[in-house]
Amino acid sequence: MVDTFLFALMLGSLGCFWKGRRTLGQCLFLVALVGVALLLKHHMTDPLQISL
């Protein structure tokens, strides 16, 4: 659901740019960007299991 929501935010951002609402589009873009970064952080909580 989190991934779906982030894609929906990006689609909303594109829609805002289409409608000429640049500031709102940029805000939605930033929220999506931070969301993707946090999602990546969520998937990085486990330590790397690398053994040489």
Partner 1 sequence: MNDFLQRLGFWTCHFNILAVGAVLTSAFVVQFGAGELPCPLCIVQRMGMLLAILGTAAILLAARKGNVTPSEYATGYGMSILGAIVGGAGSLRQIALHVCDSGPGAGYGSPIMGYHLYTWALVVFTVVVAVSGFNLFSCRWLDPHRIQFGLFSKLTVWFVALLLAANMVAVFVEAGFHAFLPDNPTSYRLLDDLGLGASSGSDEANSILSAP
- Longest CA pairwise span in the chain (Å): 54
Under the binding rule (CB under 8 A), the answer on residue 4 touching partner 1 is yes
Span 25-44, contacts to partner 1 by CB under 8 A? 25-26, 29, 32-33, 36-37, 39-40, 42-44
Query: Which position among 22, 24, 27, 31 is part of the footprint of partner 1 (CB under 8 A)?
Result: 22
Provide the residue count of the chain: 52
Q: How far is the CB of 30 from partner 1 (least distance, A)?
A: 8
Could you give the CA distance from residue 18 to residue 23 in angstroms, rounded to a whole number? 12
Report helix, strand or coil for 41: helix
